[in-house]
Structure 1
């Protein structure tokens, strides 16, 4: 009895994904690329896709830069609006203090205004020296038309100005102002800076108030010392605690404190 035939693994066809398949396999046409030639179109397509990817990445980078610039500008604007709301008060309606202040100003204007002099009017057919008898007292028409001397004296009362400082007091005030300015930021300490002159003027106004609170508008000296400059100086003085801010009465008032 013959011996059985041993089992053998059949020969498999060369893999279609190998490099030899392009040159040895008969399934491919005669003009198929030989060796590594099939990589050329694949690499060209890969290069195009990589270029498109690089362009998209550059676009994302530009968009990120634009968003960063916008965020910085928008956050700065929000910060400025917040600081403006904390430092400037804009009441929408007059308070009781506003009416009191308006009445006080009206009284000061009335006292400062010159008295109105009335000229005697002569009526046709009447004499200027005509006399009138009232309860046995005879007064002339000129005397009756004369203004009251007491009223004219009241009308001529002038507002009392601030007392002038002596040379010694001016020197002491200059030294005190210089000591305060040395504690302020650099932009306020420059010798020839307009901002230094502005803060000196604001400090002098507060010192002359003699403990009375001043409003921001009372410290404006146009054209150099406008509202924005006064507000900037007051913010710095309040932050250094040389000046206190009070708005308990509905009107923002600033009080001078000086060096601690």
Structure 2
């Protein structure tokens, strides 16, 4: 008597896309039995994977080539830009350069001639004024020594009064204090070298400012502010340049002579 049928687990239904169904399908009647049909499929897959790898390697090589080209091209553009900024300048002087140089030489010569003429005029004026003053003082002494003032000719008196120099303005203590405060305010707005680092230069600046304040609105020439030996022409010119740059003093040459007018510190 045969034994009982052994218990078997029922087989799972194979999907239509499975390898088993593919091997047993009617579309591939010549497919090998079992897994033999996988060999041509895997060989084709390996070929396609190799082609994909070759393509990826080609893309990687193209990316590297593009990076190299971009770096080289950007370096070339940078070099061309720097070359345009630093090298491409006219090294030889042009016709305009010679014309400008000739014009500057003529202007310097004309300025030197004007300065020499003004110096001669000032020296002649000072010499004439000094001689007239000496003559008038001598005449005045003779008249006061040997004659009465009431008997002196009216013409000599009037001449003496006309030639007599105008002395420095006498200021009250209050006016002196106000002027000192105004001068300190002006000097505090000037560069450091005028504010105490050089005491001599500060004293020279104070002298120049006082002369400009006393000039009212008529203006002063540079030579009129020279007080040798301390306040020479170079010192006066340096002080005036600082004052003009701060617009405390204005420079006017509309009359042919350079005049400096006091403006003061703008409030």
Query: What TM-score do the two structures reach when normalised by structure 1?
Result: 0.47
Query: What TM-score do the two structures reach when normalised by structure 2?
Result: 0.46
Larger Rg: 2
Which structure has more relative contact order (CA 8 Å, sep 6+)? It is 1
Higher helix proportion, which one? 2
